[in-house]
Amino acid sequence: MKPDPNDPAWAWAPFQPDAARPWDLRLAAHLYRRAAFGGTWPELQRALSEGPQATIDRLVHPTPGAADFNRLYDDYENAAATSAGYGSQAWWLRRMIESPQPLQEQVTLFWHNHFGISNIHVKDNASLCRHIHVLRQHGMGSVEALLDAVLAQPAVWICLGARDNGRRSLSESSVRILMEQYTLGPGHSSDSDVREGARALTGWIISQGELRFVPGEYDAAPKKILGQEGDFDRKALVRILTTHPATGHWLAQKLVRWFISDTAKPSDSLLAPLAKQLTGDGSTAKGVEMLLRSNLFFSAEAYRQKVRSPVELALGIIRPLEGRTGTVRLAADLARLGQELYEPPTIQGWAGGLAWINSLTTLGRAKLAEALLAESGAYEGKLDPAAVAKRHGRATNDGGRQFLVDLYLQGDLGAETIGALAAGPSATGSVDTRAADPRQIAARLASLPEFQLA
């Protein structure tokens, strides 16, 4: 079949390596960057020996122990969420680093961005923490079950400014967001659909921080929503919205932007097969699996076509080095780079793509890389590139430079740039006298433009 990224048959066909697109370190690392925030050397080597489809099997399907791990981390996050500060966000970052199922965390982050529920409005860590747990618990399942669970969260209604959905206090603006942002996408619902949808949500009121149903405030009269008529309540509204073809299409478009490319503008016909996976009997897991297995995912249209978000940048430095760092400080540093977990800036989430990069954040990203990899300081030198190189038999007189290039940037760096790594000032301007120091080399690699792309 002729490679054509706009041809759905080719684009969604499972990737089969060939001479033109061999299964090599570059593609294995690409898969791990998008699906797992970055791969360790053993993970990449195993992926190379097992091939793409078997590797995707492992990434997509829950591993033994994942449920126990998540229960433990739910407990950590819940306890930390009772206090102010970055405690529960720090635990989420740690979960992303350590999870045996990192794809689940990537998808949870996708939904956090999609719903855009922010503690700026909710002002309650515990409530946001419960919302994120719901996104994790249902994030890979059916979109209907996910939306149903999301709308049972007080944090969502507080953030949408709809604390009181009474008969005489219809919250049309929140239903507009529900239709245009969360499900159908823009242009598929009329003012009448929005108004009728708001009637379906009547009776749900926030009291003492909890969402309660007050039967007296429910409008039981028949409603007409998106061409369907009946006595629709919240559950029925969720079903109508999530089974509408536009929802699958809208979510497919967002998933393509998240997993394939920041700038992708896929045609309707290209999106149709993916949209089908997300609606009806489908699930997010099926959709994501289809994406990851596809020719499109391993094509030039996807390779290094996404700007790493601050979270992806930091985890892309940490995970490959098989280490952990203090994540309270990390959560604060990521907030300074524009991605404060629990606080998407708007209901549309983070703008993403090129919006992550400006003159301030470019310097900030380089400084974060230096701080994470420094021998001492805020992160206490917990990441040790030299030890990792030695563990994998790649410690050499060049400070493990080639190993770190292979680990962080694979074949995407020219010989000239690799040579230049050995000399010159560091990213923040200080003169480097330890050109062969693996920490310095790793920090420089993580500051390169190539590394900013996932």
Partner 1 sequence: MAQWIPADTPIMVEVSEPMALLGPLLSPEFGKSVTTELENGKANLKLQEFQGVVAAVELQLGTDWRAGLRRLAGKGLSFCVDPSGATLLAVDGEDEKLLSKLNGIIWQFASSGADQQNQPETVASPNYRGVKTWKIGTNEVHALLGPRLVVGNRTSFLNKVLDLRADAGGKTLASSALFKAAREAVGKEAVASVFLNLQTLRETPGLKKALEEDGNPVTALLLSDTKAALRSASWFALGLYVSGDKLILRTYTDGAAPEVSKWTSFSTLPGAGAELLPPLTVPGTIASLSLYRDLHSFYAAKDALFPERTSGLIFFENMMGIFFSGIDLTEGVLSEVRPDIRVVVAKQQYDPAVGTPATQVPAFAAVLRLKEPEHFGEIVEEAWQKAIGLANFTRGQQALPGLIIDKENQDGVKYTISYYRPPADKSSGAIDARYNFRPSLARPGDYVILSSTDALARDLINAVKQAPSTPAKTSPAVNSLMEIEGPALSAILQANREPMVRKNMVDKGDSREKAESDIQMLLVALGHLDHATLTLRRDAGRPQAQLEIRFK
Q: Which residue ranges make up the site for partner 1 (CB under 8 A)? A: 76, 78-80, 82-83, 87, 90-91, 94, 123-124, 126, 154, 158, 163, 206-209, 323-329, 379-380, 382
What distance in Å separates the CA atoms of residue 250 and residue 342, rounded to the nearest whole number? 23
Quickly list DSSP for 359-424: HHHHHHHHHHHHHHHSSSSTTTT---HHHHHHHTT---TT-SHHHHHHHHTTT-S-HHHHHHTTSS
Q: How many Å apart are CA 106 and CA 312, to the nearest integer? A: 9
φ, ψ of residue 61 in degrees (nearest 5): -90, 140
Tokens of 54: 């078997």
Pick between residue 136 and residue 223 the one whose CB is nearest to partner 1.
136
The minimum distance between CB 89 and partner 1, in angstroms, equals 9
Shortest distance in whole angstroms from residue 318 CB to partner 1: 9
Minimum CB–partner distance for residue 93 and partner 1 (Å): 8
Which three-class secondary structure string do you get for 242-261?
HHCHHHHHHHHHHHHHHHCC
> In terms of CB distance, is 49 or 207 closer to partner 1?
207
Give the nearest distance from C-beta 174 to partner 1 in angstroms. Answer: 16
CB of 292 or CB of 318, closer to partner 1: 318
Please tell me the distance from the alpha carbon of residue 293 to that of residue 55, in angstroms, as a whole number. 10
CA–CA dist 246, 279 (Å, integer): 10
Q: Which two tokens stand for residue 264?
A: 């992708």
Separation between Cα atoms, residue 251 and residue 275, nearest integer Å: 7
Secondary structure letter of residue 26 according to DSSP: H
Taking the least distance from each CB to partner 1, the nearer of 268 and 380 is 380
Measured from the CB atom, the residue of 129 and 454 that comes closer to partner 1 is 129
- Smallest distance, partner 1 to C-beta of residue 272, A: 43
Shortest gap between Cβ of 387 and partner 1 (angstroms)? 12
Specify the residue, 55 or 327, whose C-beta has the smaller distance to partner 1.
Answer: 327
**How far apart are CB 383 and partner 1 at their closest, in Å?**
9
Euclidean distance between CA atoms 35 and 40, whole angstroms: 13
CB of 70 vs partner 1, minimal distance in Å = 16
In the complex, minimum distance from the CB of residue 145 to partner 1, in angstroms, rounded to a whole number: 22
| Cβ-based nearer residue to partner 1, 129 or 296 | 129
Taking the C-alpha atoms of residue 381 and residue 61, their distance in angstroms, rounded to an integer, is 34
* CA distance linking residue 302 with residue 316, whole number of Å: 17
Nearer to partner 1, 359 or 376 (CB): 376
Smallest separation, CB 342 to partner 1 (Å): 15
By the 10 Å C-beta count (0-12 exposed, 13-18 middle, 19+ buried), 331 is classed as: buried
Nearer to partner 1, 335 or 453 (CB): 335
Written in H, E and C, the secondary structure of 95-111 is HHHHCCCHHHHHHHHHH
Rounded alpha-carbon distances, angstroms, from residue 398 to 127, 143, 421: 50, 50, 11
For the bound state, the minimum distance from the C-beta of residue 212 to partner 1, rounded and expressed in Å, comes to 11
Side-chain half-sphere CA neighbours of 424 within 13 A: 11
Which is nearer to partner 1, 301 or 333 (by Cβ)? 333
CA distance 37 to 74: 20
Nearer to partner 1, 254 or 394 (CB): 394
DSSP single-letter state for residue 225? E
Rg of the chain on CA atoms, in Å: 23
